[in-house]
Amino acid sequence: MGINVNEKERYFSITTRNTEYQLKADRFGVLKHLWYGGKTGCDMEYLLEYPDVGFSGAIYEADNDRTYSLDTMPLEYPCGGVGDFRISAIEVTHADGSTALDLRYKGYCVKDGKYDIPGLPAVHAEKTKAQTFEITLCDTATDTEVILRYGVLEELDIITRSAEIRNNGDSPIFLKKAASFSLDVPYGNWEWIHFQGRHTLERLPERAPLIHGIQESSNIRGASSHQQNPSFIICSPDCGERYGKCYGAFLVYSGSFQTQIELDQLNQTRAVMGINPRLFGWKLNVGESFHTPEAVMTYSGSGFSKLSHNFHKVIRENICRGKYKLAERPVLINNWEATYFDFDANKIQTIAENAAALGADMLVLDDGWFGKRDSDCSGLGDWFVNEKKLPGGLGTLVEKVKALGMKFGLWFEPEMVSEDSELYRVHPDWAIKIPDRKPTRGRYQLVLDMSRKDVRDYLYDSIAAILKSAEISYIKWDANRSICDWYSGELSAERQDELPHRYILGLYELFERLNTDFPNVLFEGCSGGGGRFDAGMLYYCPQIWCSDDTDAFERAKIQYGTSFIYPISTIGSHVSVVPNHQTGRITPIETRAVTAMAGSFGYELDLGTLSDEEKNAVSEQIKRFKKYDPLIHGGRYYRLSNPTTENIALWEYASEDMSEVLIHGMVFRTEPNMKCIAIKAVLDPECKYKISGSTEVYTGAALMNGGILLPKTWGDYCPIEIHLIKQNIE
């Protein structure tokens, strides 16, 4: 395993536990991609036999060899302007206005440990065995260098990618596109899956066969977005949860991204992913470098479950950081759906008392505690306590909450500003807007220019002052609009294209300062629910509010889609009131609880309004969640049904050794005289299992192949919970 090099052949092979990745610099120094997939033990170049390539053109040195063309061969980091007419990974404009870049092999190096990326979040591997492979390419006409970096986490079957573009020439160049990676898959028929949606319905998987030409998943909203997610899967047409081949990738980036997948004239597939070039430009002065965000890739020869397990592990252990990454998270009560803006200290105190009595660990005070903020029309930017609502300031309330045995958390929306705020009146130039144009408003608010140091310093000082004023253990970091009207008063005209990426770099810098200075604070990301649910945010916030839709039926679908890439511990999920505030739907409290348990669990309703029976249920649910927390967050997660097409939502948490399994879900519609449903779990077929609450013992093989019979369901959205324990084999 590891990185194997044949210097003479300029052949490189990266092997992980179950996968292999091969590259070769050919006789012209063109870096070809030979293979990514299961282990082969063979140089896969033999597959690259091309007939006359017709209208595709050849590089100059190939003379009249009509079988050699950049336009048809698999390339590791394809560049524009020199005869590959498919999607390119990099595009530049040189000082003379020309746009060609002809990257050829220059050298390589192998290092122990995983590389970092300056100013950007990336996979870290302090405790995991990791290596870095670097390969340098150069455009000799301009001395532009590209260093491709690969982080190899062997045990996890993970390969990371990032590129550094260096201007070693004698004039500035302008980057128009700098993708994090390109992956050519020259063989096989493939389908692709991306995750699409909207506010309150995020990350639904959409699967389609590839068609010739380019298919795209992307956005230009300034954030990773509700609408598309910076992640995708390419899979064989027969691929399912536990069989079939699939490749997956996600970006460790929170800004606008672009994934393009092209099926070319020879039925070869190319995937390119990175910052969205529609919202990007970068001037690279002589001697400067640009680093792309990181992409994380995996391959599974045994279906989506394995792909998800690889991603879950790397995100939980090697992207999330800090005290809380593997720790049990507090069960919280959030006041948003209980009060919206209509609260005072007494109301919050009562919500806290009710929650403490039922076993919650933390009270989170949501929007409305600061400035003049009685609706969403004003106050953003004024991060000082509204003493009319909270007399005595936060300290008084926090002490009362602490006296109940609970921690205290607080909502912020640091990147935004209301025009009706003290901050905007003093610093209108801090908002992103174009001089002499009226800016677009989103939720009545404007966006602060996070590329400015003075803006970041103001935010750091304001947040730090609040964190120091009282014992605050958690921050929910919201961002409630998409960004447009891009313009920064601090950038010259030729650099305005840099603003969207500089915004994200600024955001990350602010997070880094706060993470470092307040290591005990748990940060939860949020953007109108899951509008910025990405691995970049997870580097700073180990959990993210998954969606503003808290309806259990809808959430089952949203969490199903989210789980393809992101682990359960990252998914913020709460039990809310019925009729649900987003859909009007009524679901049983137990169904809402099992759905919310597939995440960092909490409640978001006025518990005081519940009946005694419901209160008992809540108290029992919190106890049950705490008991199962190590299994739910630390175990392997299996999707047992597809709730977007079936009448049942079903998922499983299994311990690594398969000795304990918990199955949760719901049957959507009950029909009269329905045949008993037998659900097929993932178990160790060789072992015997006892179902909690019953005396019967079954073989794993029976429960996997025949299934577990569900008790008769009654009503709609009927909850399911089945707990299985492995029995000693006689």
In sequence order, which residues have a C-beta less than 8 Å from that of residue 580 and are 6 or more positions away? Answer: 550, 551, 552, 586, 587
Distance CA 382, CA 678 (A): 56
Choose, from 154, 317, 420, 534, the residue flagged as catalytic: 534
How near is the Cβ of 351 to ligand GLA at its closest, in Å?
15
Site for ligand GLA in 71-110 (CB under 6 A): none
| Number of helices (H), then strands (E), in the chain | 12, 38
Per CB under 6 A, 411 contacts ligand GLA? yes
Adjacent-strand bridge partners of 708: 679
CA distance 1 to 6: 15
Stretch near ligand GLA under the rule CB under 6 A, chosen from 181-189, 317-325, 449-457, 521-529: 521-529
Judged by CB under 6 A, the residue of 241, 478, 534, 551 near ligand GLA is 478
Provide the residue type at 253 as one letter.
Answer: Y
Q: Stretches 237-245, 270-278, 526-534, 679-687: which one binds ligand GLA (CB under 6 A)?
A: 526-534
Rounded alpha-carbon distances, angstroms, from residue 399 to 423, 472, 473, 486: 29, 10, 13, 43
What's the min distance (Å) between Cβ of 336 and ligand GLA?
5
Sign of the four-CA dihedral 98, 103, 109, 110: positive
By CB under 6 A, is residue 498 in contact with ligand GLA? no
- Beta-sheet pairing, 407-412 with 474-477: parallel
Min dist CB 217 to ligand GLA, Å, is: 23
Contacts of residue 95, Cβ cutoff 8 Å, sequence gap at least 6: 171, 172, 173
- The span from the CA of 297 to the CA of 653, in Å, is 24
Say whether residue 529 binds ligand GLA (CB under 6 A): yes
The span of 116-124, 172-180, 402-410, 525-533 binding ligand GLA (CB under 6 A) equals 525-533
Looking up tokens 């005081």, which residue turns up?
Answer: 608
- If one asks whether residue 480 binds ligand GLA (CB under 6 A), the answer comes out as yes
Q: Select the residue interacting with ligand GLA from 202, 294, 317, 366 (CB under 6 A).
A: 366
**One of 614, 620, 716, 721 is an active-site residue; which one?**
614
The answer to whether residue 382 forms part of the interface with ligand GLA (CB under 6 A) is no
Q: Which is nearer to ligand GLA, 506 or 528 (CB)?
A: 528
Interface with ligand GLA in residues 446-465 (CB under 6 A): none
Query: Rounded to whole angstroms, how far apart are CA atoms 148 and 153?
Result: 16
Q: Give, in order, the Cα–Cα distances in Å from 139 to each of 31, 71, 72, 92.
A: 13, 18, 20, 11
Does 482 bind ligand GLA (CB under 6 A)? Our answer is no
Q: Which residues contact 121 (CB under 8 A, 6 or more apart)?
A: 252, 253, 294, 319, 508, 535, 536, 539, 540
Which region among 159-167, 256-264, 523-531, 605-613 touches ligand GLA (by CB under 6 A)?
Answer: 523-531
Give yes or no for residue 548 binding ligand GLA (CB under 6 A). yes
Name residue 401's amino acid.
V
| Residue 526 makes contact with ligand GLA by CB under 6 A | yes
Only one of the segments 293-301, 524-532, 562-570, 701-709 lies at the binding site for ligand GLA (rule: CB under 6 A); that segment is 524-532
Q: Name the phi and psi angles at 386, rounded to 5.
A: -85, 100
* Closer residue to ligand GLA in complex, CB, 82/365: 365
* Reduced 3-state DSSP string for 108-121: EEEEECCCCECCEC
CB 509 within 8 Å of CB 415: no
Total residues contacting ligand GLA by CB under 6 A comes to: 11
Q: Give the separation between CA 194 and CA 216, rounded to whole angstroms.
A: 9
Question: Cβ closer to ligand GLA: 367 or 554?
Answer: 367
Q: Can residue 336 be called a binding residue for ligand GLA (CB under 6 A)?
A: yes
Residue 502 has which token pair?
């500089």
The residue of the chain with the least Cβ separation from ligand GLA equals 367
Q: Which residues ranging from 115 to 174 are in contact with ligand GLA (CB under 6 A)?
A: none
- Residue 572, interface with ligand GLA (CB under 6 A)? no
Interacting residue with ligand GLA among 197, 528, 561, 643 (CB under 6 A): 528
Amino acid identity at 589 = I
Nearer to ligand GLA, 258 or 547 (CB): 547
Q: Which of 108, 133, 280, 545 binds ligand GLA (CB under 6 A)?
A: 545
Assess 367 for contact with ligand GLA (CB under 6 A): yes
Q: Locate tokens 């209509």: which residue?
A: 342
Q: Kindly state the smallest distance separating residue 478's Cβ from ligand GLA, in Å.
A: 5
Of the candidates 706, 596, 46, the residue with the CA atom closest to the CA atom of residue 334: 596
Q: Annotated catalytic, 534?
A: yes
- Give the binding site for ligand GLA (CB under 6 A): 336, 366-367, 411, 478, 480, 526, 528-529, 545, 548
Catalytic residues: 534, 614
